[in-house]
Structure 1
């Protein structure tokens, strides 16, 4: 957090762009929310509700537009867009947090997803917001070096929420919301599968039956318990047991496919401008 904050503050004082300050403030609030959740057991509703506070700097500093850039044009929704921000930030933050179940996945996923997002921000947003996104990308690369399998450090909720909320804030400030979502499709699918199977917002530690089990040889296998939540990892290992590294690599391959789709979305949107 300190490295990202230092880079963003330097950029803000050089450019005086309030969008940079809004991104930093949203990221700092997300880190604080995650730190609280790491420090004590909070109920399932805490993170989604508390992350609404991370959306406030984006709204108060007007680091957003009035148009939602769609694939085949844009929609002018000045009144609807503000409530949408209070949905996007908690959802993206918790989406990255939810996929942080294996060594290196959260940081690796952000590295891959950030590439099309940064490209879209440079094209549809501003150079200042693009530069504000570089600390996220390089911080994720530096973190992944120690987070990848076998992991020597773990992000916890504070790190995962920081990555997710900063990604969401960049997508909003960079006018690249749809592209940001396309790049996150596997993570979004994971959250959707989990929520649709448990049918309520709960913490992963509150789940009684785990979606995957660890075999004697340390490979991951899909749980045979019908009450176990459905997750992306459970689907991946449903065809047969895999090592944690093999499972992570399959998730990264899905992320790469989504990044390619995001670049295709950028091309279509650019042509339709």
Structure 2
């Protein structure tokens, strides 16, 4: 465990340094507008390059095979951030990204099929629950931590260590993505989270706890699909800011928006609520793991 702590510190520090560099380089090249602020300020994008590069450097010490799906989903994220893939193109390409890692991990045909579907869908889910400072990376980190704890409960220390190093790389990005955000993760930051979650869960055989962890994502995607169909994330219109609080005035539904319909909140408050829901589902996953595994 001492080695794990050292690797986590290295991953965190490297990610922080890379994120600072990316903010400096991207602020006038690749940036977005923070729509949930009174002053519509520029925010650097593609901050997810930092944990991606960090994982390329660190994950081979734990499992080089899992790194393959992280790298491929990250590359797809880079392409999507620059060229904007359609939902269909993203689903297919992410599914294909799962094939090499499934083969490298010696999965049978059934589990390889599960992996292809799981990576394709889960990556898109972790990309969709977004739009507020610290939301997607915060929920991603929470989900990863609980998946790691589920592995620890079943006695898979190696799996736990793999997940926690991945978490550390995203904590470095989170420092600058939390409210008020200085950088947005981009799809290069969100897609690998889902790809990693699905790969580890299917590979390690803890699919039910994984599905429980994913409940906030599933609810969010279901609400969006029910109300708006399959659309790009960019087409999901923002909420309205009035007197420092976010209001929903018509439009599509999502997990944050359905909460804001009931009670307008500040941006940081709605993020805390979603984090709370994610933590609750994470605790349920631990209970399920303890009982069934």
Residue in 2 aligned with 1:121?
Answer: 151
Q: Is the 8 A contact 2:151 2:159 kept in 1?
A: yes
Cα root mean square deviation, aligned: 1.8
Distance 1:79 1:205 in 2: 36
The equivalences for 1:23-172 within 5 A come to 23-62=66-105, 64=107, 79-124=109-154, 126-172=156-202
Distance (whole Å) between structure 1 residues aligned to residue 77 and residue 172 of structure 2? 20
Aligned length: 242
- 1:72 — aligned with what? none
TM superposition shift of 1:185: 0.9
* Mapped contact 2:256–2:270 kept (Cα < 8 A): yes
Q: Tell which deviates more after alignment, 29-38 or 108-117.
A: 108-117
User: Is the counterpart of residue 254 in structure 1 residue 277 in structure 2?
Assistant: yes
Q: 1:203 aligns with which of 221, 224, 232?
A: 232
Give ranges in structure 1 of 5+ residues lacking alignment: 12-19, 65-77
Structure-2 residue corresponding to 1:7: 58
Contact 1:8 1:21 in 2 (8 A): yes
Superposition deviation, residue 240 in structure 1 = 2.6
Change (3 A) 1:120 1:105: same
Give the secondary-structure state (helix, strand or coil) at the position aligned to 1:215: strand
Which deviates further from its counterpart, 116-125 or 160-169? 116-125
Contact 1:124 1:176 in 2 (8 A): no
Q: How much does 1:122 deviate?
A: 3.1
Kept in 2: contact 1:121–1:175 (CA 8 A): no
The superposition leaves residues 108-130 of structure 1 with CA deviations (integer Å, 9 ceiling, x where unpaired) of 11221122211222344743333
Is residue 286 of structure 2 the alignment partner of residue 263 of structure 1? Answer: yes
Whether the 8 Å CA contact 1:125–1:174 is kept in 2: the answer is: no
Q: Assess, with a 3 A threshold, how the Cα gap between structure 1 residues 129 and 54 changes in structure 2: closer, same or farther.
A: farther
Distance 2:149 2:104 in 1: 24
The answer to whether the 8 A contact 1:63-1:173 is kept is no
- Name stretches of at least 5 consecutive residues in structure 2 with no aligned partner: 1-51
C-alpha displacement at 1:48, in angstroms?
Answer: 1.1
C-alpha distance in 2 between matches for 1:52 and 1:125: 29
8 A contact 1:22–1:63 mirrored in 2 = no
**Contact 2:240–2:249 (8 Å) recurs in 1:** no
Using the TM superposition, name which of 182-191 and 28-37 deviates more.
182-191
Q: TM-score, normalised by structure 1?
A: 0.82
TM-score by length of 2: 0.77
